[in-house]
Amino acid sequence: MKRLIFTLGILALFVACEKALEETPRQISEENFYNTAEEVEAAVNAIYNPLRKDLLPNYIATLECHSDWMYGRGSWAPLSNYQGLDDANITRIQGFWDGFYLAIRNANLVVLNAAEREEFGKYVAEAKFLRAFSYFQLVRNWSGVPLRTEETMEEKDLSRSTEEQVYQLILDDLTTATILLPEAASVSGRPTKWAAKTLLADVYLQLERYSEAAELASEVVQAGFSLVSVSGPEDYQYRIFGPDITGSTEEIFALKYARLPSQGNYILWISNHPSTKLLTADGTGAYAVHGDATNANYIEWNNDDIRKQLWDQIDFGLGPNTLVSSKYVDPDALDANTAGNDLPIYRLSDALLIFAEASAKAENTVSTAAMEALNKVHRRAYGYAPNEPATVDYDPADYDSETFVDLVIQERGYEFLYEGKRWLELKRTGKLDERIQHGKGKSIVQKHLLWPIPLSETNYNNAIDPVTDQNPGY
C-alpha cells in the first residue's frame, strides 16, 4: 500500500498543539515551537491540509466544467453554461477562496517564524512555493486580491491589491524557492527546485515573459525527467496516474494521497460512474463532470491516440453520447473517500509544452527544439518511444509561430484532461470564445470570466466594499 507521506508530520503538529494547550497559558509561538527542524517541518505540513483534502480536487473539477471539453451534472451544470454562477456554485467558489487563504495563512506562519534561521531555509522555501502556488490560483480566477503575507496577516481590513502586486509576490517567492529548494525531494511529494522552476515558467508564460518562460522550462526538461512509455490505456491508468505508485519519472510535483480513511483523492468520486467499477470493487462515483461524444474536440480527436481511449461511452440517463473518464481509477479503494491516486500538479509534459509555446512566441518562429518538445508528448500518446522520431511527428516546416501555438493548445487539451489547466489556458491565450463555441456551441457572458469575491471575505474585511469592489456581474 502506498505510504501517506505527511501523516507523521501533521500528527507531530497536533501533538505539539495538545502539549501547548496542557501547559496553559503557554501557546504555540516563535519561542516555544519553531525551534527544531521537526517542528518547522510539521508547520510546513499544515500548509498542505487545506489544499489536498477537498479543495484541489473540487477546484480542478470546477475548472474542467468551465472548459471547452467537459460538462457538469446536477449542481455542477451551471458551470458549463457560462451565464454566471447560481447560489450552489457561489458557495463552492467561496470554499476555494477560503481554502487557498488558509494555506496562505499557514505558509505565512512558517515564513514569519522560521525565516531568520539559515538551517530552516528549505522549509521557508517550501512555504513560499506553496504560497506562490495559492496566489497564482487566486489571481487568475479573481484578479487582484487582498495580499496577506507574514507582514499583513494580522490586518483584518485589507483592500484588494492589484494584479501586478500579487504577481510580484509570486515572482519573489518563487525566485527564493528556485534557490533554496533541493534538487531532489527527501520525501516523495515535497517540491524541489525543478517544481519551483516549472511553476515560475508557468507564471512567466501567463505574464507574456516568453524568453524567461522558455529558459526555465528548458532547464527542467534537461534536468533528468523522462516521459513514461505507454502501449495502452492501462499504462496511463496504472503507471502514470495509478493508485499504488509513489511517483514516476515524469512527475515534477503532485499532491499525495493514500488508500486510508479520509486520505483519498476525491476527484475519483467526482469523475467515475458506478457501472464501470473503476472506483471500489462494487462501483461508486458521482460522474459529476463528464464529456460528450458530440463535442467537436472529441470527434476530431484521432482514435489512435491512447488518451482518447481513456473515455467510456455510457448512457446513464444523460443520453447515449455521454463520456465518462477512466483516467483516474482505483478498483481496490475501500470507499469513495479512500482512492490512492496522487493528484498531478506539474509533469514533464507541462515543462515540454511550456517550452514549446514560449520559445515559439519569443523567437516568432518554430524551432526544431520547440517542435521536438511537442512531438515527445505526441509520440508517447500514440505508443511510440517519446525520444525517437515516429510516423506521427509534426514537421516544423508546416507551421508558423501562430499555427504552431494552436497545435500546442490542442495537444494540451488532449494531455491535461482532469488536471484543471484548460479554462485558464484559454483565458490566457485569448482563445476562450473561439474554443468554447467550437467545442460546445455556447457563448460566454464576458462579465463572468472572473469569480465573485465571496461573502466570507466582504462580511469580514471592511476594506472591501461588497458592491464597488466586487468583480463584474455579481
Write the CATH number for 394. Answer: 1.25.40.900
Do 233 and 300 lie in one domain? The reply is no
Residues in CB range of 351: below 8 A, 6 or more apart? 198, 201, 217, 220, 221, 225, 252
**Domain count of the chain?**
2
Beta carbons of 229 and 222 less than 8 angstroms apart: no
- Evaluate whether residue 228 is within a structural domain: yes
- Evaluate whether residue 301 is within a structural domain: yes
Do 229 and 378 lie in one domain? The reply is yes
- Evaluate whether residue 188 is within a structural domain: no
Q: Is 73 left (phi over 0), alpha (psi -120 to 50) or beta?
A: beta
Do 389 and 362 lie in one domain? The reply is yes
Q: Domain range spanning residue 308?
A: 257-341
Beta carbons of 348 and 227 less than 8 angstroms apart: yes
- Evaluate whether residue 279 is within a structural domain: yes
Do 238 and 354 lie in one domain? The reply is yes
- What pLDDT shows up at residue 460? 94
- Evaluate whether residue 328 is within a structural domain: yes
> Which pLDDT tens digit goes with each residue over 113-133?
998 899 999 999 999 999 999
Do 250 and 264 lie in one domain? The reply is no
Do 408 and 264 lie in one domain? The reply is no
Do 353 and 416 lie in one domain? The reply is yes
CA angle 50, 53, 59 (to 5 degrees): 80
Do 231 and 264 lie in one domain? The reply is no
- Evaluate whether residue 319 is within a structural domain: yes
Do 276 and 231 lie in one domain? The reply is no
Q: Is 364 left (phi over 0), alpha (psi -120 to 50) or beta?
A: left
Q: Provide the strand spans (E) within 147-228.
A: none
**Single residue among 389, 409, 425 that ends a domain in this structure:** 425
Do 265 and 337 lie in one domain? The reply is yes
- What pLDDT shows up at residue 343? 97
Do 249 and 377 lie in one domain? The reply is yes
From CA 471, how far away is CA 331, in angstroms rounded? 42
List the chain residues with pLDDT less than 70. 1-32
- Evaluate whether residue 121 is within a structural domain: no
**Single residue among 425, 446, 465 that ends a domain in this structure:** 425
Work out the number of other CB atoms within 10 angstroms of the CB of residue 315. 10
Beta carbons of 256 and 6 less than 8 angstroms apart: yes
> Which pLDDT tens digit goes with each residue over 47-87?
999 999 889 999 999 999 999 999 999 999 999 999 889 99
Looking at this protein, which amino acid is placed at residue 250?
E
**Single residue among 341, 364, 386 that ends a domain in this structure:** 341
pTM (whole model) above 0.75: yes
Do 420 and 363 lie in one domain? The reply is yes
Give which of 274, 258, 310, 300 is closest to 419, Cα–Cα: 310
From CA 377, how far away is CA 388, in angstroms rounded? 11
- Evaluate whether residue 387 is within a structural domain: yes
CA angle 193, 109, 197 (to 5 degrees): 15
Work out the number of other CB atoms within 10 angstroms of the CB of residue 231. 10
